[in-house]
Amino acid sequence: MHNPRVTLEQWRVLQAVVDQGGFAQAAEHLHRSQSSVSYAVAKLQQQLGMSLLQIEGRKARLTSSGETLLNRSRQLLKDAAELEAMAHNIEQGWEPEVRLVVDAAFPSGYLMAALKQFVQLSRGTRVQFNEVVLSGADEALIEGRADLVIAGQVPQGFLGDLLTEVEFVAVAEPAHVLHRFGRKADADDLRRELQVVIRDSGLYLNRSTGWLGSEYRWTVTSIDKAVAAILSGLGFGWVPTHQVQGYIEQGKLTPLPIAEGQRRYGHMYMILASQDGSARRPGSWRKPLGRRVVLSDVKLCPCGSKQNYPQCCGQYIDAAALPESPEQLMRSRYTAFVRHNSDYLQLSWHESTRPEQLEFEADVSWFGLQIVDCQVSEAEDEGWVEFIARFKGNDRLQSLHERSRFVREQGRWQYVDGQIHQRPEAGKIRRNAPCPCGSGKKFKRCCG
């Protein structure tokens, strides 16, 4: 390989002469003597065997060859500066590359939004992204093929942070036989029909999720293929709600009327591996991930809308927007209760009924919000929202069933008061009972 005879410094001097308009100006800009600047350019031309500058009066102008080489040298110096910056970042603890493995069920909108933010923090770190299904994420961690994993469970020996909840819904196209029974289908009905199942991408730790055990099934390699098969009328299946919500709204797919299990819930965890593949606390590997500010923002809003918090109630609580309906205000107030945000609750409470101060009960944990009914007056200045909010206090499951009244003044909705329905008798939550938050897990393994 031919070793270069010129240096980066010589190209930098030439750029300064052209950009500053002359040798004297370049010398002042570079804090060097004019003679050293002239010598560097003369040496450069001698080593290249061609003229790069021609003198016209008191000004130096580029030749055609000089202009071509100067343009290339600008990129050369830029690449050199980036190379030095990367070396500095690596020395500071930033990784040159992050191997990211993500379960296909994780909402891609959240992921792309997080990666977009990461680009601004990454300092040149490359991302190698691989999408897997089920145990494919476990194997990537165990075999040391991933630095960061988003998966539906945390493998033994690793630690993870809960990111979000993903809802799965059983669907089929509207003309499917399961929609024509005139009743809710049971497990035997489902076993007689073809089920579309997504294949586990793992090679050694295969596990099945959502398969009813029937031999009458077709197996596909991705969620997209499963959705396409269900859309074509081949069968039914459980798929992430966010993947098919648009088709449901368009009437191309319909949730199955089944006795139980129409919707299932799974959690997604962020799991970090150390450089040698061993377990590491999620908070200890910060620099390669931009101090983890990116993925922590994808958690779902507590109000149950299935949207992430910043784009749902967060925009109202953080005063980035005003609720446009009583329901939006109701949801944001519930979220404020969950987050113990008394300022927002006071601000969204009408002055005629607003209490002087609010106190939160420390032993109360909110499980979920169910909107029963919403109404708005013809003048659109008064509204009502009936809801059920479930919570745990003293290890007992309780619920608040209320019909809240809202008024709109000067374009702003505010809570006035509410009519509380009779509460059902509180009961102790059995440890092995399904968790009331709707995750599909046992209470002792979820919110217990």
List, for residues 24-83, the tens digit of each pLDDT value: 888 888 888 888 888 888 888 888 888 888 777 667 778 888 888 888 888 888 877 777
Q: What is the dihedral of CA 376, 382, 387, 393, to 10 degrees?
A: 170
* Dihedral over Cα of 37, 38, 43, 45: its sign: positive
Confidence band (pLDDT; 50, 70, 90) for 434? low
Q: How far apart are CA 244 and CA 263, in angstroms?
A: 13
pLDDT digits (tens, 9 = 90+) for 210-263: 554 556 788 888 899 999 999 999 999 999 988 898 899 899 999 999 878 888
What mean pLDDT do residues 84-93 have? 62
- Indicate if the pLDDT at residue 425 is higher than 80: no
Residue with structure tokens 């010129």?
A: 6
Retrieve residue 438's tokens. 């709707």
pTM: 0.50
As a whole number, the mean pLDDT across the chain is 80
Reply yes or no on whether the pLDDT at 292 is more than 50.
no
CA distances 171 to 191, 215, 223, 270, Å, are 15, 19, 13, 28
**Can you give the pLDDT at residue 74?**
86
Distance CA 440, CA 262 (A): 11
Indicate whether 384 pLDDT > 90.
yes
Residue 307 CA, chain-centre distance (Å), reads 10
Highest mean pLDDT: which of 186-195, 374-383, 387-396? 374-383
DSSP letter string over 151-214?
A: ESSPPTT--EEEEEEEEEEEEE-TTSGGGSSSS-B-HHHHHTS-EEEEPP--SSS---SS--S-
Backbone angles phi, psi at 424, to 5 degrees: -70, 155
The tens digit of pLDDT for each residue in 190-201 reads: 888 999 988 887
SS3 assignment, position 146: coil
Residue 396 structure tokens: 């007992």
Distance CA 95, CA 43 (A): 40
pLDDT band at 334 (very low <50, low <70, confident <90, very high): very high
Contact indicator for 59, 4 with CB cutoff of 8 Å = no
Helical segments of 208-278, H only: 223-231, 241-250
41 touches 14 (CB < 8 A): yes
Residue 18 CB contacts under 8 Å (≥ 6 apart), including other chains: 60, 62, 70
Cβ distance 413 to 329 under 8 Å? Answer: yes
Distance CA 29, CA 40 (A): 15
* pLDDT score recorded for residue 361: 77
pLDDT confidence tier of residue 327, bands split at 50, 70 and 90: very high
Residues 6+ apart with CB under 8 A from 228: none
428 pLDDT band (50/70/90 cuts)?
low
Give CA–CA dist 325/318, Å, rounded: 17
The more confident residue out of 294 and 187 is 187
How many C-beta atoms lie closer than 10 Å to residue 369's C-beta? 22
Task: Note the pLDDT of residue 237.
Answer: 92
Domains with residue ranges and CATH for the chain:
8-91 (1.10.10.10), 95-299 (3.40.190.290), 309-445 (3.10.450.50)
Sign of CA dihedral 151, 152, 155, 157: positive
Looking at the DSSP bridge assignments, the partners of residue 342 are none
Cα–Cα distance between 350 and 356 in angstroms, integer? 12
Residue 263 confidence (pLDDT): 84
Amino acid identity of residue 134, one-letter, is: L
CB neighbourhood size of 165 (10 A):
17
The stretch 301-310 carries a mean pLDDT of 79
pLDDT at 94 over 90: no
Instruction: Quote the pLDDT of residue 279.
Output: 41
**Across 367-389, average pLDDT:** 90
List % helix, strand, coil for the chain (3-state, nearest 5): 35, 25, 40
Mean pLDDT is lowest, of 97-111, 122-136, 376-390, for 122-136
Task: Indicate if the pLDDT at residue 140 is higher than 50.
Answer: yes
Rg (CA), the chain: 31
What separation, in Å, do the N-terminal and C-terminal C-alpha atoms of the chain show?
67
Angle, alpha carbons 329-330-331 (nearest 5°) = 90
